[in-house]
Amino acid sequence: MRELPLAKAINEGLRAAMLADSSVMLMGEDIAQLGGVFRVTEGLQEQFGPSRVVDTPLAEAGIVGTAIGLAMRGYKPVCEIQFDGFVYPAFDQIVTQLAKLTSRHEGTQAFPVVIRIPYGGHIGAIEHHQESPEAYFAHTAGLRVISPATPHDAYWMIQDAIASSDPVIFLEPKSRYWHKGQVDVEVPGLAMNQAEIARVGRDVTLIGHGAAVAMMQQAADIAEGEGISIEVINLRSLSPLDMDTVMESVRKTTRAVVVQESPGNASLGSEVAATLAEQAFYVMQAPVLRVSGFNAPFPPAGLESIYLPDTDRILDAVDRSMAY
Amino acid sequence: MPYTDATLSLLAPDGTLVTNDRNEMYHQAISHLGEADFREFYRVMRVVRRFDIEAGNLQRQGQMALWVPSIGQEGAQVGSAFATRSQDHIFPAYREHAVGYIRGLDLINIIRMLRGVTHGGWNPKETNNFHLYTLVIGSHTLHATGYAMGIGFDGACSTGALEEDQAVLVYFGDGATSQGDTNEAMVFAQSYQTPQVFFLQNNHWAISVPVRVQSRTPLFERAAGFGLPSIQIDGNDVLMSYAATRLSMDAARSGQGPHFIEALTYRIGAHTTSDDPTKYRDEDELAFWQARDPIDRFRTYLTSLGVEQAFFDQVEVEAEDHASDIRARTMALESPPASEIFAHVFTDDHAGITAEAAWLEEYLASFEEGSS
Amino acid sequence: MADFTFPLPDVGEGLTEAEIVSWHVKPGDPIAVNQVVCEIETAKSLVELPSPFSGVVKELLVAEGDTVQVGSPIISVTGEGADEPAAPDTGVTEAVSDTTASVSSEGDSGKVANLVGYGAGDDHATSRRRRYARATPAETPATVPSAPVSAPVAQAMPIIAKPPIRKLAKDLGVDLASVLPTGVAGEILREDVVRQAEQATVFKNIETPAWPENREDRIPVKGVRKAIANAMVKSMFSAPHVSVFVDVDATRTMDFVKRLKASPDFAGIKVSPLLVMVKAMIWAVQRNPTVNSTWTDEEILVHHYVNLGVAAATPRGLIVPNVKEAHTLSLRELAMALEKLTVTARDGKTTPEEMSGGTITITNLGSFGVDTGTPILNPGEVTIVALGTIKPKPWIVEGEVRSRMVTTVAASFDHRVVDGDVASRFVADVASVMEEPALLLD
């Protein structure tokens, strides 16, 4: 057992993966000597050398495009996109190429490329440094999309992502980078595609991923003081969604609220809600409610705390669900 | 040595003028400037640098999440900005604080952006067409090219009237030259022969990535490969910066197509206040460039022209006053109201926005303490 | 002169803490704005912190080597402040930090305001403003609880009900847990909820009232009450009543009812075990005609038509309207006629003509949750059948004890007309249909 901040847990996970498999390499802007703007790759070039930890030119499309070529050659590239808002120059390579290549090659080749993206708000950042783009990727078949919420998740899920034969979008909640947690480096966590019941409850199920998990836990603490028992699900895997775990919870509580930083329109939360409406129709006492960012561009940092779901907004949705 | 045989300059790092065959036309280009202009160059460089240091301190005091220093690049920015004409359009990246100042931008607006009050901060129509900062690297180069294409389609250039023909000046850094958008911008510019100057401030670093990772050849040669007339200058020489920009912009506005200037300079500070250059740069390199500071050498030159000490002292006072005023106004900045989230998402009405804005207003009002 | 404290800022976009590496000042030192006070180490780098204040250092609030959370005060300075024009005065000594732009800075007094944009710490996520108590969107349901005779369904069984049914139950004040579902998939249907609600309204005294203060209430005997009394007396004390009972396994009837409900032919039509029993009665009448007669001292009029009376509870009391020519109706037509009869009676709109000319009657004790009873004949008739509750009971099936849906078929007869053998055969016939509705295909 070790207590590690989430950024360091990913660092250790990358190290373990690189030790286990010499075809694993890292590429991105400022990841080598600087160790990444969030220090997630700190010390790795020193340990594994400049041909396995590579600083790239400033070109996101170039990073993903060349990673695809490297994967064709037999490498397992782990790309870092420096911030969520900068993934869009690479979007074409990700959705028209990486997502489709396995299928285009009719299964004769695998494309084990991991794309690590720090995402999400709550750090008071400037434009393009606080977004939650998971829906674009979950919407695209051929990509696996996962997001750790805790250091223990992070340590094991990055290794799972690297070991996967499929392209994986690995969304790292940057507001949680410096939060510490217990990491069991001997015993892995749940499988990559599994959701976790992060807190057991009776009355309402809160569903979310990444940084939202901590926020939901805080809301649940407050609700407990008011006599409402909340069950919290950490989705971990956004594509595929672990609906078995979600359904089991919702059958018990009969009420569900999805929490996400991203805007709600056509979001991952919309997919969870629609699927629950279909699968849990007879069970649910209230419609699935979504607590999301507003459908406006992410605002300047001074308005971030209003824009992003907070415990009050979550508990407001819990109240509305309970009132049905 | 970052300088090459191609590097053009008018003022050496020691503050003395340089004359040779290659730079004669550039001396010509500044021959209409007088001591009053030079004092103004110095004053602006000094005021903006002092402002920059103050902003960095304010960030360290918790008044901004981030500050983006431009220290060391004043020569490149001030010279080029003064060389533009009032009818020109300027597309900055995100570090051109001095250029904004010269075009009439109140620098508090840059602080407003980094303090989380706005993502924009000014109206280009009110800042002599100094457009907003673009934080995604290189994206704005295409916007600049498109704007310049529009000037061409409108026939607002190439009439021979220098005071009226419009041109576009676009700033970007060495990192941006790797982005597809920037290269596409040059392709389009060349194809449409836009009245446009690409001004590259090669400050040698893209956060921690040195320029040699972006390119193995001098960057001005890449533009030449696209077909743009292209020069490399000592960007810390404010006179050269002025001259190169003056000639290139006037050529571009007169129908000679897009031009490219690579200004060699150095990012004395960090990429932003979140960065730590001690992790990847060495002291010798920093010292090399500190010895080539644009303000120091220009002060030496002005002194050699007979400019009195009292002038320099007075500029210091002005710089201090400006910095204090910025400090005071920064502390007084307030967050925008919640309704700003929805205020300008669309130009025309949008049902989803209207409904959500109403929901938020009602939600905030439902608290016992009232809405914030 | 006031004291100002400098809270540790987040200098690197999302940092939560930093270590104080070295102090560059000590208490008593004069200090100017922007003068470096200390060096800190964050997860990203070493950073020098410049003072926001001018004045004299009062106290170093943390020591070298301490790890400090973002937002914690690190140094206090006695001085003029931050050289700015009058900032909004919140009365808190941390005046400088209060003028930050963050919305979240409006903390409680005594709590250090968050600096601009610092959201990565856990502090910001706690609810500082408890939400206003909001009225629930749905109207509070009527306080009528569900009828006491129904036992709540066991906790282990999930309640399966579509949203509109849930809403109906809420509107009618019915507890879904106590409703017996009759849907094909085990779901609670609209009529199940309505039935439960009706039981509640039929039983007017759901709550136990306090003993009245007066010794007696005097209710005049008139109107419907007088009519009912007269009919009961006339019937009871002119016709010698005999009642016969048989228990029957009605599982197949319940299955048949379910399938009828799912059938497109019966879409929108109320189908219940009562319908089957009515059909059974008509069939049994065909086989035992004398039960469908009228005694007139000189003659027994055996009717070769069936005007089937259904005892209906109304707001004013018990009435017995009848379905005319019931023997000519198809199952579907019969179902519709029964529904119409019930609704009309509940609305109090039954006409005298609808209440006369009946030849045989059924009374549904099961809707009250009662197993069986000894009904009193409707005057002019010689047979009345009682349908009781149909509920799971142990039954012997192929030599083994199984849970089956069992009911008691009861009937009272006028022994002047119907002897024991006829009575028994009639009741047996009705019961045999309840056991095997396919006999109606005869």
What's the distance, CA C364 to chain centroid? 25
Q: Are B371 and B338 in contact (CB under 8 A)?
A: yes
Give residue C245's pLDDT.
97
SS3 B305: helix
Q: Are A167 and A110 in contact (CB under 8 A)?
A: no
Give residue A305's pLDDT.
93
Q: Please give, rounded to a whole number of angstroms, the shortest distance from the CA of B291 to a CA of chain C.
A: 24
Distance (Å) of CA C440 to CA A311, B12, C284, C385, C416: 64, 115, 10, 18, 29
For residue C102, is pLDDT > 60?
A: no
Nearest residue, CB atoms, A218 vs list C120, C126, C136 = C126
- pTM exceeding the 0.90 threshold for the entire prediction: no
Q: Of A164-178, A271-285, B169-183, C157-171, give the lowest mean pLDDT range.
A: C157-171
- Dist. CA B71–CA B266, nearest whole Å: 9
Q: What is the pLDDT of residues B331-370, one digit of tens each?
A: 999 999 999 999 999 888 899 999 999 999 999 998 866 5
Could you tell me what percent of chain C has a pLDDT over 70? Answer: 80
Q: Please give, rounded to a whole number of angstroms, the shortest distance from the CA of A112 to a CA of chain C.
A: 30
Could you tell me what percent of chain B has a pLDDT over 90? Answer: 95
- Determine, for residues B278 and C45 on separate chains, whether the beta-carbon distance falls below 8 Å: yes
Give residue C129's pLDDT.
57
Give residue C157's pLDDT.
61
Q: Is the N-terminal amide bond of C273 cis, ω within 30° of 0? A: no
Indicate which of B115, B205, B341 best probes the interface with A, i.e. most A CBs within 10 Å of its own CB. B341
- Dist. CA C391–CA B223, nearest whole Å: 90
Look at chain C and count its residues: 442
Nearest residue to B48 (alpha-carbon basis) of B66, B67, B24, B74: B74
- SS3 labels along A258-311: EEEEEECCCCHHHHHHHHHHHHCCCCCCCCCEEEEECCCCCCCHHHHHHHCCCH
Under the banding of pLDDT at 50, 70 and 90, the label for residue C14 is: confident
Torsion angle of the four alpha carbons B51, B53, B54, B56, in this order, in degrees rounded to the nearest 10: 120
For residue C110, is pLDDT > 90?
A: no
Q: Does C47 touch chain B (CB under 8 A)?
A: yes
Average pLDDT over residues C277-281: 97
Strand partners, C274: none
Under the banding of pLDDT at 50, 70 and 90, the label for residue C87 is: very low
Under the banding of pLDDT at 50, 70 and 90, the label for residue C116 is: low
Q: What is the pLDDT of residues A111-155, one digit of tens each?
A: 999 999 999 999 999 999 999 999 999 999 999 999 999 999 999
Give residue C151's pLDDT.
34
Give residue C134's pLDDT.
47
Each domain of chain B, given as residue ranges in start order, spans 24-331, 338-372
Nearest residue to B172 (alpha-carbon basis) of B208, B124, B211: B211
For residue A107, is pLDDT > 90?
A: no
Highest mean pLDDT out of C80-94, C186-200, C423-437: C423-437
Look at chain B and count its residues: 372
Task: Give me the CATH code for the B24-331 domain, please.
Answer: 3.40.50.970
- In order, the DSSP letters of B111-175 are HHHHTTS-SS-S-GGGTTTBPPP--STTHHHHHHHHHHHHHHHHT-SSSS-TTT---EEEEEETG
Nearest residue, CB atoms, A282 vs list C101, C104, C187 = C187
Q: What is the pLDDT of residues A143-166, one digit of tens each?
A: 999 999 999 999 999 999 999 999
Chain C CB contacts of B117 below 8 Å: 101
Q: What secondary structure letter does DSSP report for B8?
A: B
Give residue C135's pLDDT.
42
ipTM: 0.87
- Dist. CA B88–CA B82, nearest whole Å: 11
For residue C106, is pLDDT > 70?
A: no
- Dist. CA B358–CA B356, nearest whole Å: 5
For residue C126, is pLDDT > 70?
A: no
Q: Are B185 and B142 in contact (CB under 8 A)?
A: yes
How many other C-beta atoms lie within 10 A of the C-beta of residue B302?
Answer: 19
Give residue B284's pLDDT.
96
- Dist. CA C165–CA A162, nearest whole Å: 49
For residue A197, is pLDDT > 80?
A: yes
Chain B CB contacts of A30 below 8 Å: 206-209
Question: What is the gyration radius of the CA atoms in chain A, in angstroms?
Answer: 19
Give residue C270's pLDDT.
87
- Dist. CA C102–CA C106, nearest whole Å: 8
- Dist. CA C259–CA A233, nearest whole Å: 40
SS3 B259: strand
Indicate which of A126, A282, A310 best probes the interface with C, i.e. most C CBs within 10 Å of its own CB. A282
Q: Please give, rounded to a whole number of angstroms, the shortest distance from the CA of B260 to a CA of chain A.
A: 20
Under the banding of pLDDT at 50, 70 and 90, the label for residue C346 is: confident
Cα first-last separation, chain A: 44
What contacts C264, CB < 8 A, 6 or more positions away?
none
Indicate which of B50, B274, B359 best probes the interface with C, i.e. most C CBs within 10 Å of its own CB. B274
Q: Are A215 and C125 in contact (CB under 8 A)?
A: yes
Q: Please give, rounded to a whole number of angstroms, the shortest distance from the CA of A294 to a CA of chain C.
A: 17
For residue C94, is pLDDT > 70?
A: no
For residue B212, is pLDDT > 60?
A: yes
Catalytically annotated residue among A129, A139, A152, A209: A129
Nearest residue to B148 (alpha-carbon basis) of B133, B135, B161, B131: B131
Q: Does A52 touch chain C (CB under 8 A)?
A: no
Q: Of B131-145, B259-273, C260-274, give the lowest mean pLDDT range.
A: C260-274
Q: Give the residue from chain B lying closest to A31, CA to CA.
A: B208
Q: What is the pLDDT of residues C353-407, one digit of tens each?
A: 999 999 999 999 988 788 999 999 999 999 999 999 998 999 999 999 999 999 9
Under the banding of pLDDT at 50, 70 and 90, the label for residue C413 is: very high
- Run of H or E residues at B24: helix B24-29
- Dist. CA B48–CA B338, nearest whole Å: 33
Does residue A129 have an active-site annotation? yes
Q: What secondary structure letter does DSSP report for C391?
A: E
Q: What is the pLDDT of residues A276-288, one digit of tens each?
A: 999 998 889 899 9
Average pLDDT over residues A249-274: 97
